[in-house]
Amino acid sequence: MRKVKKPLLKLAWSSIFCFLLLFLFSYLARAETINFLPKCDNISCFSKPGSAVISNDGKFVLVVDSSSSPYLKKYEYLNSSLSSTNKIPLNISNPSLTLLKIWLSNDGKRAYIYKGPSANTKSIILSVNLDTNSVKQLNFYSASSTDDIGTIGILTGDGNKIIAGNTDSKSSKCLIVDANSDSIEKTLQVNDTVSTIQITPDFKKAIITYKGVLSQSISIYDVQTGTLNTLNTPDNLFFSIDAFLNTKAFDVNNKKQLLASLGGKHVLHLLDLVNEKLIIDILDNNSVGFSLPAIFPDGSTAIVAGVINNQNGYKVYKVNLSNMRTEGSVTFNDSNDVIDLKITPDQRKAYLLVNKGSKSVLKIIDTNTLSLLAEHQLSDKKSIRLDLDPISIDPYGRYAIKSDSLSVINSSSSSSSTSSSSTSSTTSGGVLNVSVCGNGSVEPGEECETANGIVFATSCTNCKLTCNKGTKKCNLNSSCTSAPANSNVPGTGSNCGCYCNFVQVRKDGESIEQE
C-alpha cells in the first residue's frame, strides 16, 4: 500500500479541521435573513405600526396599526413564510396617533388592544374576537371619572379575564375584570401607581411593577388565592440601582422571571416565583446604565445587556442562575441604546436589538461564547422601546418579528422534517414539547441530544403511552375542560394531548429529571 507523506497527511488533517471549524461556525451562525411582512416595504403598508404579537403555536402574527383610523391585520405562517389573511377595522379614532399595544390570549382566539390616554381623551380597551372578527369596547370603568386605566394584562388562557391598573395615584388599585360581562369582579388595592403587569405563562401569578415611590418594589399577585406579596429592594442596595422594569423573561417551568433595571449599576434581578423571593446580583460596580436581561427557556442561564452611560457602549454578561455566578462578559463599543434582548428557543443565540446612529440593528450573539455571529440592519429608523418587547420570536424559532418596522427575521434553524436538531416550544402548561428530531418524528420516550446538551422526549400522542424520560403532563389548553397538571388522562376538547417534560443531560450521560 502506498504511504502518504507526513506533510501531505498534516495538510489533509489541517484541511479537515478547517472545514469542521467552518461547518461549526456556519451551523451556529445559520444566516438569518431579513425581510418585511408581505407587501410591506418597511412601513408602506401600515400608516403607523404599533406592536405585534405571535400566537402561542406560531401559526400567525397580529399587527396593530396606530394610524388615525387604526386596524388589526393578521398574517398566517404557511410554507415557511407569512401571508396576509384579513384586516379588522378597530372602529376608533386616534387623531394623536397614540401607539397602540396588543395582547393575545393563549388559545389565539381573543386579542386586546390598548390605547393610552392623550390630552383630551381617556384610554380605550378593545376586545377582539378573532373567530368572528368582531370588536367590542370595554366600559367597566366610568368614562366620566377622573380616573383612568394605565395598563392591562390577560389573566386567563382563554382571555376571558383581564387585570387592569388604574392611573389615580391617590387611590391606586388593580381591577380584575370579566371581559365577557364587561364588569369588575374584584378590586385589589395597591400602594402605588401601577406601571406594568406581566402574567406568568401558567396564568397563576401576575407580576406588578410601580411608577412612584415603589418603583424599586415588585408585587406578586396569586390568582388562585387572591393574595398580594410585595418585595422591596434591600436598603443597602437602594441607591445603587434604579426602578424595576417588567419583562416577559420567564422560564418555561414558571419558576423564574428576570426583571430589567432602569439605571444604576449593572444588575440582574431574579424573581423566584416558587418561594416569592427577590435575588439581586450586582454584575459590575463600575458600570452604570440600563440593564436588560433575557433567560434561557430551561431557566439555567441569563444573558444581560447593560448600557454604559459614560461611553458609547454596552456590556453583555452571561450568568449561571443556579449560583448567580457571572461566567463571562464582553463589551461592545458601537452603541449605547439597547432596545430589546431575546433568547432563541434552542438557547444557542441571543437576538440583541440596538440603535446605531439613526438605524435599527439586530446583533446575533452566540450564547455559549458571547461572540458576535452576525449583524443585520432592520430599519433606517431608530427602534422604539414599547414595554421592552419590540421583538417577538416564534415558539419554534422559525422566525421573529420586530414590531415597529415590521421586519421579519427568518431563521434557517427552524423546525422541519429534515432538521438536524430538535426544536422546542412552550405549551400553555409550561412544558417543553419537541416536534421533530433528526430526520423524522421522535417516538414517545425517545431521546434526541442537541448541541447544547439538552435531551428532549417528544409529545405523547396518547396518554396511555409511557415516556422513558421526564414527567408526563397534560396540556393546560384553555379548550380542555379537564386537564390537570401531572394527570394521566387528557382533558376533553381539542388540543388536549399529553406531553413529556424535558430531561437535561450532563457530560457523563447521567440524566436529571426536571421538576
- pLDDT, tens only, 55-75: 999 999 999 988 889 999 999
- Terminal alpha carbon distance of the chain: 58
Q: Please tell me which residue, 4 or 437, carries the higher pLDDT value.
A: 4
Alpha carbons 239 and 262: distance in angstroms, whole number? 13
Q: Indicate the pLDDT class of residue 86, thresholds 50, 70 and 90.
A: confident
Length of the chain (residues):
515
pLDDT at 127 (0 to 100)? 98
Alpha carbons 489 and 143: distance in angstroms, whole number? 47
Q: Please tell me which residue, 211 or 484, carries the higher pLDDT value.
A: 211
pLDDT at 372 (0 to 100)? 96
Alpha carbons 394 and 180: distance in angstroms, whole number? 29
pLDDT at 133 (0 to 100)? 96
Identity of the highest mean pLDDT range in 29-33, 230-234, 245-249, 388-392: 230-234
pLDDT at 251 (0 to 100)? 94
Task: Give the mean model confidence (pLDDT) for residues 87-95.
Answer: 92
pLDDT of 373 higher than 90? yes
- Measured CA distances, 86 to 54, 131, 358, 406 (Å): 15, 12, 33, 17
DSSP states of 459-493 as a string?
PBSSTTS--SSS-EEE---TT-SS--TT-SSPPSS
Of the candidate ranges 258-262, 380-384, 452-456, 493-497, the one whose mean pLDDT is the lowest: 452-456
Q: Distance of alpha carbon 177 from its chain centroid, rounded? A: 24
**Which residue type is seen at 107?**
D
pLDDT at 510 (0 to 100)? 33
Alpha carbons 490 and 470: distance in angstroms, whole number? 17
pLDDT of 468 higher than 50? no
Q: Indicate the pLDDT class of residue 41, thresholds 50, 70 and 90.
A: low
Give bridge partners of residue 392 from the DSSP assignment.
Answer: 401
Identity of the highest mean pLDDT range in 19-33, 93-107, 276-290, 486-500: 276-290
pLDDT of 242 higher than 70? yes
State the cell numbers at 266: 449593572
Mean pLDDT of the chain: 77
**Which residue type is seen at 362?**
L
pLDDT at 13 (0 to 100)? 52
pLDDT at 474 (0 to 100)? 37
Task: Give the mean model confidence (pLDDT) for residues 144-167.
Answer: 92
Alpha carbons 378 and 364: distance in angstroms, whole number? 12
pLDDT at 273 (0 to 100)? 97
Q: Give the pLDDT confidence of 471-514 residue by residue, as tens digits.
A: 334 333 333 333 333 333 333 433 334 433 333 332 233 333 33
Alpha carbons 466 and 461: distance in angstroms, whole number? 10
DSSP strands (E only) in 289-429:
291-295, 301-308, 313-320, 325-332, 338-343, 349-356, 359-366, 372-379, 391-393, 399-402, 407-410, 424-426
Alpha carbons 207 and 268: distance in angstroms, whole number? 17
- Measured CA distances, 330 to 204, 264, 313 (Å): 36, 19, 11
Of the candidate ranges 113-122, 124-133, 275-284, 323-332, the one whose mean pLDDT is the lowest: 113-122
User: Vertex 383, ends 378 and 384: CA angle to 5°?
Assistant: 155
Half-sphere exposure of residue 181: CA atoms within 13 angstroms, side-chain side: 6
Task: Give the mean model confidence (pLDDT) for residues 145-174.
Answer: 93
- Measured CA distances, 261 to 70, 111, 258, 352 (Å): 32, 29, 10, 17
Q: Indicate the pLDDT class of residue 358, thresholds 50, 70 and 90.
A: confident
CB 264 within 8 A of CB 290: no
Alpha carbons 198 and 217: distance in angstroms, whole number? 15
Q: Indicate the pLDDT class of residue 101, thresholds 50, 70 and 90.
A: very high
Report percent pLDDT > 90 for the chain: 53
Alpha carbons 177 and 134: distance in angstroms, whole number? 19
User: Residue 356: CB partners within 8 Å, gap ≥ 6?
Assistant: 334, 335, 337
Task: Give the mean model confidence (pLDDT) for residues 305-332.
Answer: 95
CB 511 within 8 A of CB 501: no
- Which residue is it, cell 394610524? 67
Q: In what order do the strands lie in the sheet with 349-356?
A: 338-343, 349-356, 359-366, 372-379
Report percent pLDDT > 70 for the chain: 71
Identity of the highest mean pLDDT range in 40-49, 349-358, 385-394, 453-462: 349-358
**Which residue type is seen at 431?**
V
pLDDT of 257 higher than 80? yes
Alpha carbons 447 and 467: distance in angstroms, whole number? 10
Which among 337, 340, 335, 360 has a CA at the least distance from the CA of 350? 340
Type and span of the H or E element at 178: strand 173-178
pLDDT at 15 (0 to 100)? 52
Q: How many CB atoms lie within 10 A of CB 459?
A: 21
CB 314 within 8 A of CB 289: yes
Q: Indicate the pLDDT class of residue 428, thresholds 50, 70 and 90.
A: very low
Alpha carbons 178 and 363: distance in angstroms, whole number? 41
pLDDT at 284 (0 to 100)? 95
pLDDT at 142 (0 to 100)? 74
